[in-house]
Amino acid sequence: MTLLAIAKTLLQRGWCALREISGDDAYERYVAHHAASHPDEAPLDRAAFFREEQKRKWDGVRRCC
């Protein structure tokens, strides 16, 4: 394996790890989970998924005590 190929592989793995840590790959993970768990139902599109995630994250009571 050449040095260029190794560097490319490391960059790809780093990029994938960064997307996973930041949550940028959430839609892709949702689609994979949905296909495995609910094959008879169509998954949400990207925009609907984003709206539902925002609603889940921010709706409801948010307080520490």
pTM: 0.72
Q: What is the pLDDT of residues 10-40, one digit of tens each?
A: 999 999 999 999 988 999 999 999 999 999 9
38 exposed, middle or buried (CB, 10 Å; 0-12, 13-18, 19+)?
exposed
Given a cut of 70, is residue 46 above it in pLDDT?
yes
pLDDT at 64: 74
> For residues 63 and 44, which has the higher predicted lDDT (pLDDT)?
44
Instruction: Determine the number of helices (DSSP H) and then strands (DSSP E) in the chain.
Output: 3, 0
pLDDT at 61: 74
pLDDT at 63: 74
